[in-house]
Chain A
């Protein structure tokens, strides 16, 4: 567990943890606002965004991709809202229409254009490749204080750290607005709080998290991390602040445990090759949620369900 761990496991684990936290933070509010599936929708439209960015710029560098994905998420959110209001279609169905259409368009563009030679492919988009984000020049724990080794850190790491920090800061700054606009929209409006902007900002933050995390871990993990840790956290407590703290804890636990199980689990079972880390993290998140559903102290509300 020395040099090899630092070289091959440390950075993927860190990236997985940061991605999980970045998704879990907005996920808390999305779940409370009955918008859990916005995360699902966003993570699907990331693909067409990336394809369009590639077709426009002809490059596979990170920033055009991230911008394209972010723009697609924004387009999707606006379209969902438009279909919902203009067509008077219920939210779930509106999402179902918009994200599948954009996703289909993305796949079509991908297949019709000559991108299959490069890094872009649908499976990667869905499954990510967390395992490949290794730290080439690390030679051991000492590399952590060796600036020369930092050069070969996967760029996903600082990017994910930045996104995670920004989202944490936004959550802290807009805490009161998020809380009141989520609990009592009418009251918040009457107070003059920009409820619409808060809602859009939240979805925008979710999109940023999805886009940054998607790049590292693929869209399944994004969907699972938007929902599983915050949902499990909701079942642990009746205080919003405590819930968010639990969700971060569950996100970290899913990421670490999932990665370890994916990497070492097969070995323990006598296999030879690791399985998909992103998939395993999603499964771990689901199992944690399952346990919370069974044993969480606040798993049942006292408010009768309609």
Chain B
């Protein structure tokens, strides 16, 4: 799919064009169609079509309150959809749960919960283990390996409430690694973390991409989009543009998404 922006000629939905989109969507790691989420009067996400390629790092971008996290959560079935379908690698969501790893927003849980770092990472095995499966020696080894990948192997027995924000984020990422998925969905993974943690996380995510996994992250720092991501999806309640960063992350698309909230010089700087 070409970069679709708010300029009229690209934004037009052409009959027949969408069929080609569908073919693409079937090859995509994650494809949502006609997704609407409404908490009452105004929709948070309206009629969004989006697809995210595999073996790539994709960012969901938009201003505050644009419905980025809502889109991600609705795509995962964490919150209910008013309309819309979701496919993971061409398969409906419910048959693809084993292939998805999810990193929720750090602030969405109570870190005062009585658990250690190890306990949290092992939650990543719960779907495979079910209620009765036994945690094997291999699982225990993998727990440590996942923690090691995020630089937290020494913290395995620490109470989670004692961690810094960045360390908590790393634990969540380790738990996602324990899920051994093909598609990694992350909700604001860099929000409020220290610079070292941001580097550590991006290294892990790049490793996943280079293994052929798809990474989709809700992201709010426009300055790092070009550095970190291959593919962007811009939205503000509706879809605004999507495509490879070079084509879709344009001044026009940003202006359409952010309205007057970004200065002209800032825009020019970002879109290069």
Contact = CB atoms under 8 A, between A and B. Distances in A.
Interface of A: 32, 173-177, 179-180, 182-184, 186-187, 189-193, 234, 237-240, 242-243, 301-303
Summarize A's interface: helix, strand, loop or mixed. Answer: helix
Nearest to A236: B114
Interface residues of B, number: 31
Contacts of A243: 114
Interface string B94-115: 1001001010100011111111
A180 B102 contact: no
A302 B114 contact: no
A237 B111 CA distance: 15
Nearest to A28: B114
A190 B161 CA distance: 23
A217 to B, nearest CB: 28
A190 B127 CA distance: 10
Given A184-B104, A302-B161, A191 B97 contact: yes
Contacts of A177: 126, 131
Given A238-B114, A303-B111, A187 B127 contact: no
B76 A190 contact: yes
A184 B109 contact: yes
A198 to B, nearest CB: 11
Interface string B184-227: 01000000000000000000000000000000000000000000
13 contacts: A179-B123, A180-B126, A182-B113, A183-B109, A184-B104, A186-B104, A189-B77, A190-B77, A192-B127, A237-B114, A238-B115, A239-B114, A242-B114
Contacts of A180: 123, 126
B114 A187 contact: no
A250 B26 CA distance: 57
B108 A183 contact: no
Given A187-B123, A301-B161, A173 B131 contact: yes
Nearest to B168: A303
Contact of B108 (A32, A186, A303): A186
A180 B97 CA distance: 16
Q: Most A CB atoms within 10 A — which of B77, B110, B129?
A: B110
B179 to A, nearest CB: 8
Contacts of B2: none
Given A177-B131, A190-B100, A238-B114, A303 B161 contact: yes
Interface string B104-148: 100011111111100110010011010110000000000000000
Q: Most B CB atoms within 10 A — which of A182, A191, A234, A237?
A: A191
A189 B78 contact: yes
A303 B114 CA distance: 12
Contacts of B78: 186, 189-190
B162 interface: yes
B85 interface: no
B73 interface: yes
Contacts of B47: none
Interface string B45-73: 00000000000000000000000000001
B250 interface: no
A193 B126 contact: yes
A193 B102 contact: no
B131 A176 contact: yes
Nearest to B125: A176
B123 A192 contact: no
The 7 tightest CB contacts between A and B, nearest first, are A190-B102, A192-B97, A238-B159, A190-B76, A301-B112, A303-B112, A186-B104
A248 B162 CA distance: 27
A187 B116 CA distance: 17
Nearest to A172: B131
A247 to B, nearest CB: 11
A234 to B, nearest CB: 7
B71 to A, nearest CB: 14
A183 B123 contact: yes
Contacts of A32: 110, 113-114
Contacts of A174: 131
Given A186-B108, A189-B78, 19 more contacts: A175-B131, A182-B113, A183-B120, A184-B108, A186-B102, A187-B102, A189-B76, A190-B76, A190-B77, A190-B97, A190-B102, A192-B127, A193-B126, A239-B114, A239-B116, A239-B119, A240-B114, A302-B162, A303-B111
Contacts of B159: 238, 302
B114 A176 contact: no
Nearest to B105: A186
Nearest to A182: B113
Contacts of B100: 190
Contacts of B116: 238-239
A234 B114 contact: yes
A191 B109 CA distance: 16
B184 to A, nearest CB: 11
A240 B126 contact: no
A303 B161 CA distance: 6
